[in-house]
Amino acid sequence: MGLSSKGNDVQPYRYRPALFFLLTYALSWIPWAAAAWFSHRSGMTPYNYLFSFLGLLGPFASALILIYGSGNSALKQDFRARLLELRRVNLFYLPITILLMPIATWLAIWLSVRLGRPASQLSIVPNLISMLPIMFLAPSFEELGWRGYGVDALRARLGMGSATLLFGLLWAIWHAPLFLIHRSYQNDLLSGSPLYVVNFFISVMPAAIIGNWLYYKHRRFIPAAILFHFMLDAVAESFAAEQFAKCIVTAVFVVVAAAIALADRKAFRESARNFLDSGQAIARG
């Protein structure tokens, strides 16, 4: 339902979180099912890569369908503003956005070395340059969907804490088909220890808590969310860290997320909020 007026009454846009996540799962999981099928057949690697990439577009495509198919000018204008308005950046939280993952990873590797793991984990992977495009594209397409529509849609129905936890769960589930794609990062985890698979799903929750907190501290500026997500992926893929060290990274993130939730209890106790409920054409951050 878009904005409509009767006299001076203005009805806010009604977000559709269930439709967004169902559509996202369909637009991601169908291509990923094809990618999984091709990945287990010789000579089909290009098709595997193609459908794997198409699946990454699911969140962004869903957001575009719901935003630009809504016919709601305020929703469209709000999306553009959250993409382009640099004034939304909160300089106080920018160092956390950029440095949290590098610091957590360095600390995790240092601890793992102290526990007898090889110091070579601090070395840069040899094929880093070739990985940079997907390191940038994957978090961009995800966050254009998650923060472009999905997270705010949940916030319109739920309080900050509940919306964040639910998003973390839905985000984790979204990754599930990747475990079936041969030689994907997730499939390699599945081929190894079950502990590493569990760690992957657990790691999503503190990342969601910290990511949501930063997103709203940056006044819903989508590029800030992309930057944080990029740092998560880029740092994790740049160093030759063992999965043992990555389990320590998860533990560090759990501690940081818990500390943030306790220190900023006011933010996580906020009730449901529709950011387009002001009666103005543009949502306020």
Phi, psi torsion values for 87, nearest 5 degrees: -65, -15
Which residues 6+ apart lie within 8 Å of 45 measured at CB? 38, 39
Bridge partner residues of 163 (DSSP)? none
Distance CA 109, CA 249 (A): 8
142 is annotated as an active-site residue: yes
Catalytic-labelled residue, pool 40, 85, 175, 182: 175
User: What is the token pair recorded at 183?
Assistant: 């030689």
H or E segment and range at residue 281: none
242 is annotated as an active-site residue: no
Return contacts of 15-21, CB within 8 angstroms, 24+ apart: 15/149, 15/152, 15/153, 15/156, 15/157, 15/274, 16/66, 16/153, 17/150, 17/153, 17/154, 17/156, 17/157, 19/66, 20/62, 20/63, 20/66, 20/149, 20/150, 20/153, 21/62, 21/150, 21/170
Catalytic-labelled residue, pool 142, 143, 218, 229: 142
Distance CA 280, CA 39 (A): 49
Residue 281 burial (C-beta neighbours within 10 Å; 0-12, 13-18, 19+): middle
User: What is the token pair recorded at 134?
Assistant: 């997907």
| Residues annotated catalytic, as ranges | 142, 175
